[in-house]
Amino acid sequence: MKKYILTTVCVLVVFAFAKAQSAQDIFQAAGTPSNPKVNVAFNQYYTAEGLAAIGKKIADAHPNLVKRMSIGKSTQGRDIWMLAITDYSTGDADRKPGFYLDGNIHSNEIQGGEISTYTAWYLTESFGNVPYITEMLKDRVFYIVATINPDARNNYMKEPNTGSSPRAGMIPLDDDSDGLFDEDGYDDLDGDGSITQMRRKSTTGDYILDPRDPRKMIRIQPDDVITGQRYEMLGREGIDNDGDGQINEDTPGYYDPNRDWGWKWQPDYVQRGAYKYPFSAPETRAVADFVKAHPNIAGAQSFHNSGGMILRGPGAEEDVETYNRADVAIYDAIGKKGEELLPGYNYLTVYKDLYSVFGGELDWFYGGRGIYTFTNEIFTGFAYYKDKTRGRDQIYDAGKDLLLGDGFTPFKAYNHPTYGEVEIGGFKKNVGRATPGFMLEEEAHRNMVFVFYHAFHMPHLSVGDVTVKSLPNGLKEVTATIVNDRLMPTHASQDLKYNIERPDYITLSGGTVLAGMIVKDADFNVTEEQKNTPETIHVENIPGNSTVMVRWIVKGGNTFKIKVDSAKGGVVEKSVK
Amino acid sequence: MNQKSLLSLLLVCSLCYVTIAQTEYRNEQQVTAALKSMASQHSEAQLTSLTKTVGGKDIWMLTLSDGAPESHPGIAIMGGVQGDHLLGTEIALNMAENIVTNHPEVLQKTTFYIFPNLSPDATAQYFAATQFARHGNATKTDDDRDGQVNEDPFEDLNGDGVITMMRIEDPTGIYKMLEEDNRIMVMSDPNQGERGTYDLLTEGMDNDKDGDFNEDGLGGVAFNKNFTFNFPYFTPGAGEHPVSQVEHRALLDFLYTQWNLYAILTFSDENNLSTPLKYNKSGASKRVITSILEDDEAINAMLSETYNKLIPNTNAPDGSAQGGSAFEWAYFHFGRLAMSTPGWWPQKFEGDSINKAPKNETANFLAYAEAEGIKNAFIPWQEIQHPDFPNHKVEVGGIRPFLMKNPPYALVDSIAIKHTDFILKVAEMQPELQLVNLKQEKVGANLTRITVDLHNNGLLPTHTEMGEKSRWMRKINVYLKTKNNQQLISGKPRQVIEKIDGDDTITLSWLIQGSGNVTVEATVPQAGTATKTINL
C-alpha cells in the first residue's frame, strides 16, 4: 500500500513537472533558449557520470549539430567525452576553424564542467533561433570537453575533501617518500562530507573567537590583552593513518595535471606538481593527441576556479619572449572585452599576476601549437555583493545573508587520537571556490559569451575581388584578393616563428597556370613569383582584419575556381568567369 | 653422454662459433638472437620487450640480477641511443655477456638494466640497400614543416648503395678543395684571399623543387633528441614535443618506477667521462638548472679519472650535449648519476717519416684510417649527370658514413671489455647503507639509550645533489620498530634523511622505555636496507 501511494505521488509530481514545462505555460526570458529539447538545471553540479549523461542527451536530441566521442580514457578507465558541435549540413566539420574548450583540469575546480555543458546546451538549443549562433555554427566547430579530469572530479564530490582538494588526478604518488602511496589522506572525522578545520582550546594558542561572530577565528596581535578562551589551529581534519608522526601528509595525488603539458616542461623540483614528462597523465595525453590531430583548432579556453581572472600566458617568467607584441595585441583585445562581459573579473598574465610555473595547458596550446588560449578562474567574492571594496571576510556575511547558513559546519567537540579534545568545523568544500547555485547559470552564460567572442574572432576567410585581365597572346592575368575579416591571423606569430602549421594554399583551377605570384604592392606592381607549383600559391599567413593578394598568368580556360585552403582558417572557394 | 649434455655442448659450440665468426656489426635479428641466447643460458638474465616502435621493432631490455632486480641498487646501460652509433649496441651486448659470464658475483649486489638498442628503426638503415647515417625512427615527420611529408629524400645517384655528398662546380659556390687533401671540400674564406668554386650538398635531388636538397626524407624522431631537458623545439628529428614517441614513453614509464636505479650509462656523442662536466655557478643557481651541481661535479671528476685510466681521453671529440638527449634527462630531470661516452673515437694521425700529419680533422681521419688499414674510407668523387644542374659538373663522393663513430669490428671486443671493467668499478663504488657502532646505555630503570651510526659504505653518495631535489629519488627512511610493551621516549619512529655522502656517517639515537627486542631499519632503494635488532 505504501509503495502504491509513493508511486502515485511520483506520477503526480512528474505530471505537474511536465505540465509546467509545456510551451503555452512559458514566457521566454531574453537570452535563454525557451522550451529547450533538453532540460538541464544549471543551479547544481554534476558528477562525471552526470555530465556524461547530459552530454549524451544533448547529442541524442541534436544529431545534426552534435557528434559525441570519447577522446581517451582516464586513469581509472572513465571515458573523456567530447562534443563536436557545428552545423553538419554545411562544409566539412573538421576543416572549419575550431574552438576547443574544456573544464575541470583541476578536479576541485568544478564549474568548468557546467559552463562547458551550458555552452553545448546553449549552442544546440539556440541554433536556428539566434542568428549569431546559427552563423557561428555554419563556419566554426566547437570541441567541448566538459571534464578532462573525471576521476578526481568524482573524488572531490563523493569523498571527503576541502574546497581545494584533490586538485590532482587519481594517479597515486608517494608524497612523503616512504615507499607507500596515498596512505595518509584526510579523514572526515565529523562525517559532514567535507574536510574542515580542527582547533583546540589552549592557554597559549594564538587565536580567539570573534566575539561578534563565533564562526570566525581572529589571530591575536602582540599588544592584545586576552581575557577569554584562546585556541590553537591544528590544520585540516585528519588523523595519522600510517602512524609515522604526521597527519595528512600523503593525500591522493599529488601531481598537477596543469604542469603536464609539453611547452618548455620542467620537472617537479622547478615548480611543484610536474609528473614524469609532458603528457604523462592519460587525461592530458588524450587532449594533446586530439589537438595534434585537429590542426583546425585556432582558439581555446580552459576553465578553472577561482578568483575572477581571465588569464593568458606566459605561465613562466622565463618564457616571456615567446609572447610577442603582435599576438599580445590580440590577447589584449579579447581579454579586455572579457573584463566587460565578466564583471569582477580581471584580465591578467599568469607569470606576473598569479604564479610563475611551467607546463601549463595554455602554454602548450599557444607555444606548442600557436593557438590563442585563455584560462578563466571562475568565481570571485565580488559576486556576493557586486562590490569590489569588501574584503576576505565577506564570505561570513554571504554565508549568513545569502546562503542562510548552508555550507557551514558549526564547530563541534571531537576526541582526536593524537590531539585529544578538539573542535571540528568550518566552511564546507562547496563554499568559497565553487559558485553558489543561484549564481551559477549567470556565471556560465557570461563565460560562454566570452568564449563566443573569442571564437567569433578566429580567422574568417573569403575570396574577395577577383579580376581577370587579358594579356597578349591569349594569356590571362587573374588577380584575387583573399580576405580575413576577423581579429586572428591564420598563423599566430608564434606559429610563424617556428612554422608550426603549414602555409595557406591558394589554388587556381580552370586553366593552365604558367606563373603564380604573391602581389606585395598592387599599385607599384611589386610581386614575388613562386616558381614551383605556381597553380597553388603558398602564403605563410593571412593576417587578421587584412587581405592577401595573389596573381596567376593563365593559358586557356573561361571559368576559374579559386580555392583557399588554410589549416586554421578553413576552406573557401569562389568561381569567376 | 646423455642427450641433454650433448645438446648443451652443441649449444656452447655454436655460441663459440658465433663469437668467433662475428666480424661485422649485428643487425636486428642477430641482436635479438644474442639477447635470447643470453636469457636462455643464464638464470640471472631476463629479457623483456618494453614496446614495439612505429617501425614494428622491439625495444629490448635485458635485466641482469641475482635475486629480485629491485632488491639491489641498479645501473641502466643504454646503447643505440643514436641511430648511426652501432658501436653502442655492440658494447652494451658485450658488456651484458661479459658480466653474466665472467663477473656473475657482481649481480648479487647490483642489478643491470641493459637496453642494447633504443633506435632500432634507425640502425636498420646501416643494413639497408641504401645506407646512410640515420637518427630518426619510423614515425612520419614533416622535417621542413611545409605541409608535405617525406617529399624530398636522398637519392643514391651513383648507385653505390651509400648516401654521401655531391660537389657542384659553380663560380657562385662557397666551397673549395682543401689544399693538403683535395678530396676534402672546405668553406672558402674571402678574408684569407680564397674564392669558392663549388657548392656542396648531400646526395640526391631537389624532388619538391623548393631550393633545398634532401631536407625532408625518411626523417623520423631521433631517440636522442626527444627528451625533456633543453628540448630543441621544432627542429628536424626532435618531434612535436618531448617524449612524444612510444619508445620514449615505454622506457621512461619503466625507469620512473625503478627506485633502485642510481646510475645511467649512455653510449652517445655526449661525453662526460673523457672530460667531466664543469660547474657553473650562474647555471646552477637558477630554478631551471643548466649546470652540473657542485657536489656532483666532484663525483663526475672521480668517475672520469677512473674512466680515463681505462680509456685514455687523447683526441676525444667535444662531447657537449645538444639538448633533448637521454644523458641530459638522466641527470637534470631524473637526478641519477649520469655517465655518457661514445665508447670509441679515431685517434689522431701524428704523421711519420713519409707522411705529414694533416691539420684538417677530416683529412687527418683519412690519414689515420689509411694507417689503420681501414679500407674505402673515402668514396672517390665520381662525375654524374644531375637533372637539377644541367650545365654543371656534378660529382658524388665523400667520407663513408658511420666510420668516424664506429671502429673496425675487430676492436669491439676490447672496447667492450674496458667498459665492462669501468662499470664494475662504478658498481664497487655504489652507495651501501650500513648500521655500525651500535651502543646501548642504561639511562635509568628500564630506560635505554640506543646510539647507532648510519654509514654509507660506498664511495658514491646515496643521492646526487640533483637527485636530492627530485621526487623520483626516494629519501632514506629510518625506522625504530618497538613493541607494545615498549615506549619511545625520545627520537622518532620514522625519520627521513635526505642524503649520506660517500663514506660518510650520520649518528642516530633513541631513548626507549621497556625491555625485549627493538629493531632499527635504514632503507633506501638505491643503497639497500640495513637492519639491527637490539635486546634491551
A143 min Cα distance to partner chain B (Å) = 22
Touching check for B441 and chain A: CB below 8 Å? no
**Contact flag A277-B242 (C-beta cutoff 8 Å):** yes
B7 min Cα distance to partner chain A (Å) = 46
Q: Find which of A177, A184, A317 to mutate to test the B interface (most B CBs within 10 Å of its CB).
A: A177
The domain that holds B87 is classified in CATH as 3.40.630.10
How many of the other CB atoms lie within 10 Å of CB of B429?
18
Touching check for A201 and chain B: CB below 8 Å? no
pLDDT of B326 higher than 50: yes
**Contact flag A263-B241 (C-beta cutoff 8 Å):** yes
pLDDT score at A392: 81
Alpha helices in B429-472 (DSSP H): 465-469
Contacts of B287 in chain A (CB under 8 A): 270-271
CA torsion through residues B385, B391, B393, B397, sign: negative
pLDDT score at A4: 52
pLDDT score at B22: 80
Give the C-alpha separation, A311 to A302, whole Å: 10
Buried b (16+ CB within 10 A) or exposed e, A383-415: bbeeeeeeeeebbbebbeebbeeebbbebeebe
Verify that B267 and B372 share a domain, yes or no: no
pLDDT band at B354 (very low <50, low <70, confident <90, very high): confident
Peptide bond preceding A306 in cis form (omega within 30 of 0): yes
Give the DSSP H/E element, type plus range, for residue B346: none
Return all residues near A171 (Cβ < 8 A) that are at least 6 apart. A75, A253, A255, A275, A281
* Residue range A28-58, pLDDT digits in tens: 999 999 999 999 999 999 999 999 999 999 9
pLDDT score at A371: 98
* Residue range A471-495, pLDDT digits in tens: 999 999 999 999 999 999 999 999 9
* Closest listed residue to residue A318, CA positions, set A363, A348, A288, A278: A363
Contacts of B471 in chain A (CB under 8 A): 173, 177, 268-269
**Contact flag A278-B477 (C-beta cutoff 8 Å):** no
DSSP tag of B400 = P
Task: Tell me which amino acid residue A289 is.
Answer: D
pLDDT of A336 higher than 80: yes
C-alpha angle with apex B188: B182 to B194, nearest 5 degrees?
95
* Residue range A186-233, pLDDT digits in tens: 999 999 999 999 999 999 999 999 999 999 999 999 999 999 999 999
* Residue range B416-446, pLDDT digits in tens: 999 999 999 999 999 999 999 999 999 998 9
pLDDT score at B16: 44
Touching check for A288 and chain B: CB below 8 Å? yes
**Contact flag A538-B146 (C-beta cutoff 8 Å):** yes
Give the C-alpha separation, A285 to A292, whole Å: 10
| Nearest neighbour of A179 by CB, restricted to B142, B256, B474 | B474
Tell me the sheet residues that pair with A563: A507, A573
The rounded mean pLDDT for chain A is 95
Tell me the sheet residues that pair with B113: B63, B76
Return all residues near A504 (Cβ < 8 A) that are at least 6 apart. A490, A491, A538, A539, A540, A541, A542, A564, A565, A566, A567, A569
Verify that B149 and B200 share a domain, yes or no: yes
Q: Is the pTM of this model over 0.90?
A: yes
pLDDT of B153 higher than 70: yes
Task: Tell me which amino acid residue A340 is.
Answer: E
pLDDT band at B9 (very low <50, low <70, confident <90, very high): very low
Give the C-alpha separation, A536 to A502, whole Å: 13
DSSP tag of B347 = P
DSSP tag of A271 = S
Contacts of A538 in chain B (CB under 8 A): 146
pLDDT score at A151: 98
Give the C-alpha separation, A106 to A257, whole Å: 7
**Contact flag A268-B233 (C-beta cutoff 8 Å):** no
Give the C-alpha separation, A498 to A490, whole Å: 14
pLDDT score at A21: 58
**Pairing of the two strands A98-103 and B517-524:** unpaired
Residue B234 maps to a domain:
no
pLDDT of B63 higher than 60: yes
CATH for the A35-156+257-381+436-456 domain, from 3.30.160.20, 3.40.630.10, 3.30.450.40, 3.50.50.60: 3.40.630.10
Verify that B112 and B250 share a domain, yes or no: yes
CA torsion through residues B38, B41, B44, B47, sign: positive
In chain B, what are the helix, strand and coil shares in percent, each to the nearest 5?
30, 25, 45
| Chain B residue with the nearest C-alpha to that of A293 | B240
**Percent above pLDDT 70 for chain A:** 96
Alpha helices in B23-175 (DSSP H): 28-41, 86-102, 120-123
How many of the other CB atoms lie within 10 Å of CB of A523?
6
Contacts of B288 in chain A (CB under 8 A): 266, 270, 318, 358
**Contact flag B493-A266 (C-beta cutoff 8 Å):** no
Contacts of A498 in chain B (CB under 8 A): 145, 233-234
- Residue with C-alpha cell 685510466? B309
**Cβ proximity of B429 and B502 under 8 Å:** yes
C-alpha angle with apex A546: A374 to A456, nearest 5 degrees?
35
Give the C-alpha separation, B363 to B394, whole Å: 22
**Contact flag A244-B493 (C-beta cutoff 8 Å):** yes
B385 min Cα distance to partner chain A (Å) = 22
pLDDT of B526 higher than 50: yes
**Pairing of the two strands B58-64 and B111-115:** antiparallel
| Chain B residue with the nearest C-alpha to that of A289 | B244
How many of the other CB atoms lie within 10 Å of CB of A323?
21
Touching check for A498 and chain B: CB below 8 Å? yes
pLDDT of B17 higher than 80: no
* Closest listed residue to residue B268, CA positions, set B87, B96, B396, B443: B87
Give the C-alpha separation, A429 to A163, whole Å: 4
In chain A the first and final C-alpha atoms are separated, in Å, by 81
Domains A35-156+257-381+436-456 and A461-576 equal at CATH topology level: no
Q: Find which of B227, B241, B245 to mutate to test the A interface (most A CBs within 10 Å of its CB).
A: B241
B479 min Cα distance to partner chain A (Å) = 9
**Cβ proximity of A74 and A169 under 8 Å:** yes
Q: What is the ipTM of this complex?
A: 0.94
- B515 — phi, psi (to 5°)? -135, 175
* Residue range A437-458, pLDDT digits in tens: 999 999 999 999 999 999 999 9
Give the C-alpha separation, B195 to B174, whole Å: 7
**Pairing of the two strands A504-509 and A560-566:** antiparallel
| Selected residues 259-318 of chain B with any CB under 8 Å from a CB in chain A | 259, 287-288
Residue B2 maps to a domain:
no
pLDDT score at A138: 98
May I ask the CATH class of domain A461-576? Answer: mainly beta
Buried b (16+ CB within 10 A) or exposed e, B312-341: eeeebeebebeebbbbbbbbbbbbbbbbbb
CB pairs A-B closer than 8 Å? 97
Return all residues near A519 (Cβ < 8 A) that are at least 6 apart. A479, A525, A526, A527, A549, A550, A551
Domain extent, residue B180, equals: 142-218+353-404
CA torsion through residues B411, B414, B418, B421, sign: positive
Please give the average per-residue pLDDT across A169-177, as a whole number. Answer: 96
* Residue range A342-372, pLDDT digits in tens: 999 999 999 999 999 999 999 999 999 999 9
pLDDT score at A199: 98
**Pairing of the two strands B74-78 and B261-267:** parallel
pLDDT score at B353: 87
* Closest listed residue to residue A425, CA positions, set A417, A416, A413: A413
Residue B110 maps to a domain:
yes
Touching check for A502 and chain B: CB below 8 Å? yes
pLDDT score at A344: 96
The rounded mean pLDDT for chain B is 95
pLDDT of B12 higher than 50: no
- Cα B308 to the center of its chain, rounded Å: 17
Question: Which three cell numbers, joined as nine digits, stand for A475?
Answer: 594569356
Total structural domains within chain B: 3
Verify that B147 and B105 share a domain, yes or no: no
* Residue range A61-85, pLDDT digits in tens: 999 999 999 999 999 999 999 999 9
**Percent above pLDDT 90 for chain B:** 94
DSSP tag of A573 = E
**Cβ proximity of B127 and B68 under 8 Å:** no
Query: In angstroms, what CA-CA distances link A98 with A145, B15, B424, B511?
Result: 13, 60, 57, 67
Give the DSSP H/E element, type plus range, for residue B435: strand B433-444
pLDDT score at A13: 43
pLDDT score at A23: 81
Touching check for B333 and chain A: CB below 8 Å? yes
Between B140 and A3, where is the model more confident? B140
Question: Which three cell numbers, joined as nine digits, stand for A325?
Answer: 607584441
A379 min Cα distance to partner chain B (Å) = 32
Please give the average per-residue pLDDT across A275-302, as a whole number. Answer: 98
pLDDT band at A391 (very low <50, low <70, confident <90, very high): confident
Residue B106 maps to a domain:
yes
Strands, E, within A46-202: which ranges?
Answer: 66-73, 79-85, 98-103, 141-145, 197-201
B157 min Cα distance to partner chain A (Å) = 23
Give residue A559's region: left, alpha or beta (phi > 0; psi -120 to 50): beta
Domain boundaries, chain A: 35-156+257-381+436-456, 173-251+394-427, 461-576
| Nearest neighbour of B209 by CB, restricted to A265, A358, A532 | A532
